[in-house]
Chain A
């Protein structure tokens, strides 16, 4: 389905709920839009179920930008999924799950009716994927976790969640690149820097990357953090 958001943004809906197939389709369509040389495109933004194309007026649109981009999307969607995307790079994210960092671990364990140990095991045992980066520079939305992590956001968001906090909600993990308000449940903290303007690739994680969370001790956490600084 195609819809517009104002006069310079078109959104393609590729599903109506969060699942891995829809997410991959979105990533693939976004990548094809980004690699194609279409006229007037300013941004291509994937989410779990949509791809947004933002553009400025261009003569090649022949006064019909919606038709122009819809035809392109149809061409891209007719192609099979990009295998290089499906088998994209795997990035390990060290996380210290000590209670002093994972302030909501007990709540998550209670809600999921399992032990804290089980929560950590389930969070670290399988590969997950970055489907979207948004809200703040370098802030990833990673999924799609099993039912254990199907917990809605807090009713009242916290006004300041510390940088590096690893938080879950709705079968997803997000990591706060810096101190931000947030309503997700914090289960640990990573010592790595998610966004740094001075790196060749400022954002550590990009849409499509696969992620493995690796549990580390607080000593290891400190030594990685010291190395990052």
Chain B
């Protein structure tokens, strides 16, 4: 009683906010690339932020719901249809047993998140439901979904059409306002805000100039582990042997070839390359919606400003779906 996969899409796997607390044992955090879309989809169906959603990349899956449920999609627009009706992002939908969800390829963005009320019945591994693809554990058998997989729900809605109709009506009558910080950035805004690293001044002045003024192309071998960027070569003023230390989501490393790599969700827990900057948390979701071939620019902000933006974003995530809460209470 859950979802039955007919076409798996290009790359669909379960992710929550990440497997925290085990990086000191070398275990990668993983988790949703676009943590904003992941959390919004969850909140819209009455879940907490850390329930696993299905992360679907570039080409979405086709699946049948084998039980009634309440779902939401957030993130990239993949021309989703439920039954034969197009459905919009960031809205809750009541689904009947046997209805089909079809996602095609992306129109905007790169990643779409499917949340279901109550979550999927996936056993947490090291406190997380996230799929750790490189090590093959977590999520659904440690891998991306395949045709004929059937993933059960954690919570089943009653098969009572009258009841479902009532809930559906209440959900439709509830207006959700998305504050600016939760809205997708203007697609024409191509800059990503970054915070300078403590090694910033160890780079040559030309490198810093190039880093901030040049357009950077996301290379073809960019994926969940890291985005490799193509542009002018960056270099330290004096070569320096670095000792390995912790990295973070958004850390921008510069290996010997001078082409920066932005570390993403599946990054290794430690790294020994020089770091030029780190992407502000608040801009990671927009970055996660960029694809190989896309162009981006960097804009410097202070760590204090970045933390302020991060806090406002998190406060907005925690409150925007409150009008729906009384409705989900009746489902418990």
CA distance A63 to B311 in the complex (A): 9
**In the bound complex, how far is the Cα of B307 from the Cα of A63, in angstroms?**
8
Question: Which residues does chain B contribute within 8 Å of A43, judged by CB atoms?
Answer: 20-24, 29, 246
A42 interfacial by beta-carbon distance below 8 Å: yes
A5, A46, A56 interface centre (most CB from chain B within 10 Å): A5
Contact present for A137 and B135 (CB under 8 Å): yes
In the complex, what distance in Å separates the CA atom of A138 from the CA atom of B27?
A: 8
Question: Which A-chain residue is minimally distant from B275 (CB atoms)?
Answer: A5
Residue of A nearest to B278 (CB): A6
Interface contact B248-A133, CB-CB below 8 Å:
no
Whether A8 lies near B248 (C-beta < 8 A) is yes
Q: How far is the CB of A52 from chain B (nearest CB, A)?
A: 3
C-alpha gap A8/B247 in the complex (Å): 11
Would you call A57 and B246 a contact (CB within 8 A)? no
Tell me whether B244 and A47 are in contact (CB under 8 A): yes
Residue of B nearest to A52 (CB): B246
Q: How many residues of A contact B (CB 8 A)?
A: 43
B168 close to chain A: CB less than 8 A: no
The proximity string for A residues 1-44 relative to B, scoring 1 for CB distances below 8 Å and 0 otherwise, is 00111111101000000100000000000100010000000111
Chain A residues near B201: list those with CB within 8 A.
Answer: none
A135:B269 contact, CB within 8 angstroms: yes
Q: Is A164 close to B, CB under 8 A?
A: no
**Chain B hits for A133, CB < 8 A:** 24-26
In the complex, whether A165 has a CB less than 8 A from a CB of chain B is: no
Residue among B20, B25, B280, B310 making CB contact with A137, cutoff 8 Å: B25
Q: Are A7 and B25 in contact (CB under 8 A)?
A: no
Does any Cβ of B come within 8 Å of A189's Cβ?
no
B residues in contact with A135, CB < 8 Å: 26, 244, 268-270
Residues of chain B within 8 A of A65, CB atoms compared: 307
Contacts known (A6-B306, A7-B310, A47-B270); A18 close to B243, Cβ less than 8 A: yes
Query: Quick check: is B197 within 8 A (CB to CB) of the other chain?
Result: yes
Q: Once the chains are docked, how many angstroms separate the CA of A197 from the CA of B136?
A: 10
- Residue from B23, B26, B125, B280 in contact with A197 in the complex, judged by beta carbons closer than 8 Å: B125
CB closest residue in chain A, given B244: A47
A8, A34, A134, A177: most-surrounded residue (chain B CB, <10 A): A134
Cα(A135)–Cα(B270), bound, Å: 6
Is B195 engaged at the interface, CB distance under 8 Å to the other chain? yes
Q: Top 4 closest A-B pairs, CB basis? A: A6-B278, A134-B270, A52-B246, A7-B306
Contact surface of B with A, Cβ cutoff 8 Å: 18, 20-29, 125-126, 135, 137, 195, 197-198, 243-251, 268-270, 275, 278-281, 303, 306-308, 310-311, 314
8 more contacts with CB within 8 A, not counting A5-B197, A52-B246, are A6-B195, A6-B251, A7-B310, A8-B281, A9-B278, A45-B269, A50-B245, A135-B270
What residues make up the interface of A, taking CB atoms closer than 8 Å to B? 3-9, 11, 18, 30, 34, 42-50, 52, 54, 56-57, 63, 65-66, 132-139, 141, 177, 195, 197, 202-203, 206-207
A-B residue pairs in contact (CB < 8 Å), sample of 29: A4-B198, A5-B197, A5-B247, A5-B251, A6-B195, A6-B250, A6-B251, A6-B280, A6-B303, A9-B248, A43-B20, A43-B23, A45-B269, A46-B24, A47-B245, A47-B246, A49-B245, A50-B243, A52-B248, A57-B307, A57-B310, A133-B25, A134-B23, A134-B26, A134-B270, A137-B26, A141-B244, A202-B25, A207-B24
